[in-house]
Structure 1
Amino acid sequence: MATKSTTKLHSKDLRQLGYESDKAISIALDILNSRELRRLDKGSALAVLKQIKDDPFQYVRDQTWRPLAQELVPQPNRDVALNPNIKDYRRYGEAFIEDGARKQMDTAMQLPVTIDGALMPDAHQGYGLPIGGVLAVDNAVIPYGVGMDIGCRMALSIFDVPPRYLEQRMQELKKLLHNHTRFGNKEVFKSPADDPVLERPEFKEIGVVRGKHEAAIKQMGSSGSGNHFVEWGVVDITEEDSELNLPVGQYLGLLSHSGSRGLGAAIAQHYTKVAMNKRPLPPEARYLAWLDLDTQEGQEYWAAMNLAGDYASACHRDIHRRLSHALGEKPLAKVENHHNFAWKETLADGREAIVHRKGATPAGQGVLGVIPGSMTAPGFIVRGRGERDSIQSASHGAGRRLSRTQAKLQVSEGELRRLLRDQGVELIGGGLDEAPMAYKDIHQVMAHQRDLVDVLGSFTPKIVRMDAGGGGGKSKYGGE
């Protein structure tokens, strides 16, 4: 029997939910009548519309509902003007950076507090600052310049185990990922690990942080949804480095990508609202509202942001501890870096600044990092070159070529299954929105940042686990 269409939803239904603006109602009905949602049942449609009405900030990053969420976000009187001129900034790989990301960066370069900026070759449109955007500002912090997933990071452990172990013990390694990782909002460990970060005073001193303490305890050691993953793969060290202290050769590697879970999201949402109310900006810049670091709110956010970053690191530490113990091996070397954060740094001209890297990897002189590709493309172990034009930054990955919605519409299950099989990759969980076809060519991205990083080696995924979207860890595309 066919599902009842939401085309029978009328404006009066939305007004009963509390929608008052005719424009918002029109936008909502247009979205519901789109090809993607026109078969959604009425009850589900009303439920999501109520959620958006109650907290539009939750949906400003959603590809489908973004126009409605943006219309519903409170619009205070605008009393801060942008600079008429766009400050010059360096764009890496500009030819394949979408216009939306460039325009967002242009707007960021018009803020009165902006000192300098750069756009990385993996850049694509986000909210506030584009993903791949680097922005240096004067004595202020922009919550949406950091992003929703505060402290999101990469962590790589390298083991003295030959790569053939992956083929010989494939089922065992898949089982280890099943048993010792958790993903999404529903999966947590029955007995989560303890960590000193959970005893930090910020959990008592900052209201929004205090409210997420229990969730932070439960989610310790778990990974988020979307593009977050834990994977086994082959590490190929091609250049020796004193800090890595590894001979050239191949090793077994464990790579994880995740952030600060519900804690970071709550901090981002709360302080973005605070910033937007205190610093109202024109529509195109409203998500770039900042908090002065001399204010109580600015200091609170800075402390909460650093806590979220440390919590994200603790989660990765637990992931790698669990899997290293289960594997029965201690890592020879580790590399970790984060890419949704703000740092106090001294710029090349000697000025002190707050440097936001939203989806950008720190690449100061000698700083190590990992830049991943996709589930079928290699990532790279890099050493920063301290390039001043990029504000000592590099890309944080390949960057999206297709939005999540576009990927679901354009990529078929059969196509993804064939690609995984051809590349010899086992996928546990995952979905079409994270298909490799949704990402830019990592080799092109790396070619556009030769001046920013030196490549020390690569990581090629072989067994990948991601959020199954409620599928209980199983995948339609291969794996368990």
Structure 2
Amino acid sequence: MPKLRAKDLIKRGWPKRPAGLAVTIMNKSFKRETDAWRDATLANVLAHPDNFVGDDIWGHVAAELGGRKQDGIAAIIRPEPRKSPLAFNIFKSKAGIAPNAVQQLYDAMRLPVAAAGALMPDAHHGYGLPIGGVLATVGAVIPYGVGVDIGCRMCLSVYDLPGNLADTDQSRLATILRKETAFGLNAHARVNDHAVLADETFRYLPAAKKLLGKAAKQLGSSGGGNHFVEFGNVELPADNAFERPAGSYLAVLSHSGSRGMGAALAMHYTDLAMKECRLPKQLKSLAWLDLRKDAGAEYWAAMTLAGDYASACHDDIHARIGASLGEKSIVRIENHHNFAWKDKLPDGTDVVVHRKGATPAAKGELGIIPGSMADPGFIVRGLGNPASLNSASHGAGRQLSRSEAKNSISGSSLKSLLKERKVLLIGGGLDEAPGAYKDIREVMAGQTDLVEVLGEFHPRVVRMA
């Protein structure tokens, strides 16, 4: 990720001195965050310095921007964490789970609102909850327990075309991806309309209203990092769940979320939660909003909107690609993570289930769990296991950080692996190389009690940022 400079912020309207302070904080404490997260945070601090005056990290910057302590924040609570965490289930595999990810869920289970939890076999360290962490709370929603990329999801379209086209027609398929997809800060020259842009939440929720223009511009595009759109072949066995003949079919798999709009909403409500719910420093990222109060209800509406918007982006991506192929899908599977659901525990307790990088896997629920740019993904059907809070992994899970991957994986080794696997890569980088991820087959072996495998997807033409 390019190093942020003060002059970059000055161009965005920042005064010189606070710009320098903000750059120092970002480059020191948040260098591993995505560009979207950093941009949303910086924009939030600049626009609302009053909200950050008491913040441990941003307080000095906010003061330089003229921020003042606000009167009347009577809703502030200082909850006392449990001395001992509630027990939770860990679904392990040979791929292993880093101790810092386990510790993060232990921390979350100390919250007084926590009711149950589980850790998926792809789990790794994150912010707030670990990636692959599932947490059930009572009467509360944790913005960082949902994540910055609200409603991030997978979407698979299978076409009635032979799967070997993913090998024999790669040049044409690559041209379609270059033409019909956009990543990062890029957007489509021709933006399609979608019903989500007329959602009434954009009108009545101030935090969303100002993001409508950005949402419209980025509709149908994908984020950076591990987001992708790829052609591949789907292998369906005999007696498959889709009533199709056994065999290999051409398919498109996409992974992306709610773009800049989702990131901005996430940061807005995370900041609000941290100011209303003052937890000890090590638990600060797990601050929650009470669903009985206005801020909690607002966040729920914003989260729902961002999830619908993420789905709309996939609708647009797959519509563009289907039109270029001249085909309609015969199978469509979509599932999301980085979201919260209202549910019940087996004992009847009403809870909010946060799935931070975890796939919903209620009994009979379909989903797609990807591997990497050169490893297979798996079409799955949930088994509804209450021990995992009806959840499964959302992918293979990182075993190397982005910087570790860049320092330990060579360009030549990645090139050789892609050639061996017959994968044509457009974009991407060493931080997304297959070696940066756990072995997806080992991860799948660790969750046979959570999902049933219905088919496999093998990537062949991959586009990333």
TM-score (norm: length of structure 1): 0.83
Q: Residue 320 of structure 1: SS of its match in structure 2? A: helix
CA distance 1:223–1:52, shift in 2 (3 Å):
closer
Work out the CA distance in 1 between the residues paired with 2:435 and 2:147. Answer: 24
- Residue 9 of structure 2 corresponds to which residue in structure 1? none
Are the structure 2 counterparts of residues 132 and 248 from structure 1 closer, same or farther at C-alpha, using a change threshold of 3 Å?
A: same
C-alpha distance in 1 between matches for 2:233 and 2:26: 47
SS in 2 for 1:192: coil
* Helix, strand or coil at the partner of 1:297: helix
Aligned length: 424
SS of structure 2 residue aligned to 1:437: helix
Contact 2:240 2:246 in 1 (8 A): no
In structure 1, C-alpha distance between the alignment counterparts of 2:460 and 2:311, rounded to whole Å: 24
Measure how far apart 1:245 and its partner are: 2.7
Residues 439-478 of structure 1 mapped to structure 2, 5 A cutoff: 439-467=437-465
Checking the alignment, whether the CA contact within 8 Å between 1:239 and 1:456 is kept in structure 2 is: no
- 1:78, 1:282 within 8 Å by CA — same for their partners in 2? no
Is residue 395 from structure 1 mapped to residue 401 from structure 2 by the alignment? no
Shift of 1:340: 0.8
Cα distance in 2, alignment partners of residues 222 and 409 from structure 1: 29
- Structural mapping, 1:368-387, within 5 Å: 368-387=366-385
Does structure 2 retain, via aligned residues, the 8 Å contact 1:56–1:72?
no
- Give the CA deviation at 1:74: 5.1
Q: Secondary structure at the match of 1:80?
A: coil
Q: CA RMSD in A?
A: 2.8
Q: What amino acid is aligned across from residue 423 of structure 1 in structure 2?
A: R
Structure 2: which amino acid aligns with 1:79?
R
Question: How far apart are residue 241 of structure 1 and its match?
Answer: 4.5
Per mean C-alpha deviation after superposition, the further-off stretch among 305-314 and 245-254 is 245-254
Work out whether residues 149 and 257 of structure 2, in 8 Å CA contact, stay in contact via their aligned partners in 1: yes
Q: 1:308, CA displacement in angstroms?
A: 0.4
User: For residues 29 and 276 of structure 1, do their structure 2 counterparts lie closer, same or farther at Cα, with a shift above 3 Å needed?
Assistant: closer
Give the superposition deviation at 1:166.
2.1
Q: Which amino acid is the alignment partner of residue 215 of structure 1?
A: K
Measure how far apart 1:55 and its partner are: 6.4
Cα distance per residue 1:306-334 (max 9 Å; x no partner): 00000000000110011011101111111
Once residues 23 and 198 of structure 2 are traced to their aligned partners in structure 1, the CA distance between those partners, rounded to angstroms, is 45
Query: CA shift at 1:169, angstroms?
Result: 1.7
Instruction: Report percent identity of matched pairs.
Output: 50
Query: Residues 56 and 73 of structure 1 are in contact (CA less than 8 Å); yes or no, is this contact kept in structure 2?
Result: no
Name the counterpart of 1:258: 256
Aligned partner letter, 2:214: A
Residue 367 of structure 1 corresponds to 365
Q: Distance in 2 between matches of 1:400 and 1:331?
A: 31
Cα separation, 1, equivalents of 2:41 and 2:196: 34
Matched residue, 1:310: 308
> Cα offset for 1:346?
1.6
Which residue of 1 is the match for residue 347 of structure 2?
Answer: 349
* Structure 2 residue aligned with 1:476: none
Task: Please give the alpha-carbon distance, in whole angstroms, between the structure 2 residues aligned to 1:215 and 1:52.
Answer: 12
Q: Which aligned runs of 4 or more in structure 1 are off by greater than 6 angstroms?
A: 24-32, 50-53, 55-58, 75-78
* 8 Å CA contact 2:85, 2:109 repeated in 1: yes
Deviation of 1:247 after TM superposition, in Å, equals: 2.8
- Runs of 5+ in structure 2 lacking a partner? 6-15, 33-37, 47-54, 61-68, 70-75
Deviation at 1:19, TM superposition (A): 9.4
Q: Please name the residue that 1:323 is paired with.
A: 321
Report the Cα distance in structure 2 between the residues aligned to 1:56 and 1:292, rounded to whole angstroms.
Answer: 22
Q: 1:94 to 1:381 in 2, by over 3 A?
A: closer
> What letter matches 2:196 in structure 1?
V
Q: Give the residue type in structure 2 aligned to 1:252.
A: L
1:205 paired residue number: 204
Structure 2 SS opposite 1:103 = helix
Report the equivalent of 2:126. Answer: 126
Partner residue, 2:155: 155
Structure 1, residues 414-473: CA drift from partner, whole Å, max 9, x if none?
111111111110000111111111000001100000000000010000000000xxxxxx
Is the contact made by 1:237 and 1:250 (CA closer than 8 Å) also made in structure 2? yes
Does the 8 Å CA contact 1:18/1:53 hold for their aligned counterparts? no
Partner of 1:181: 181
Superposed displacement of residue 99, structure 1:
1.0
Instruction: Please name the residue that 2:433 is paired with.
Output: 435
Say whether residues 1:227 and 2:226 are aligned partners: yes
Q: Secondary structure at the match of 2:130?
A: strand
Is the Cα contact below 8 Å between 1:231 and 1:256 reproduced in 2?
yes
* Secondary structure at 2:216 match in 1: helix
In structure 2, the partner of 1:85 is: 84
Q: Is the 8 A contact 1:87 1:110 kept in 2?
A: yes
Q: CA deviation at 1:295?
A: 0.5
Secondary structure of the corresponding residue to residue 79 of structure 1: coil
**Paired AA for residue 327 in structure 1:** L
CA distance in 2 between partners of 1:52 and 1:263 (Å):
9
Which residue number corresponds to residue 281 of structure 1? Answer: 279
Q: Matched residue of 1:134: which SS?
A: strand
> 1:18, CA displacement in angstroms?
4.3
Q: Give distance in 1, aligned partners of 2:373 and 2:158.
A: 18
Report deviation, 1:292.
0.5
CA distance in 1, matches of 2:223, 2:447: 28
Change (3 A) 1:80 1:19: farther
The equivalent residue for 1:291 is 289
Displacement after TM superposition at 1:139 (Å): 1.1
For 1:276-330, what per-residue CA distance to the aligned partner results, in whole angstroms no more than 9, with x for missing partners? 0000101111000000100100000000100000000000011001101110111
Look up the SS of the partner of 2:266 in the other structure. helix
Q: Give the Å deviation of 1:205.
A: 1.3
Please state how far the C-alpha of 1:30 moved relative to its aligned partner.
7.8
C-alpha deviation, 1:71, in angstroms: 5.8
TM-score (norm 2): 0.86
**Aligned amino acid, residue 358 of structure 1:** K
Structure 2 counterpart of 1:107: 107
> SS of 1:216's equivalent?
helix
Question: Could you tell me how far 1:79 is from its partner in structure 2?
Answer: 2.3
* Structure 1 gap ranges (5+): 1-5, 7-15, 37-49, 59-69, 468-480
Partner of 2:12: none
AA paired with 2:375? A
> Per-residue deviation at 1:168?
2.7
- The residue identity in structure 1 corresponding to 2:153 is R
Q: 1:398 to 1:54 in 2, by over 3 A?
A: closer
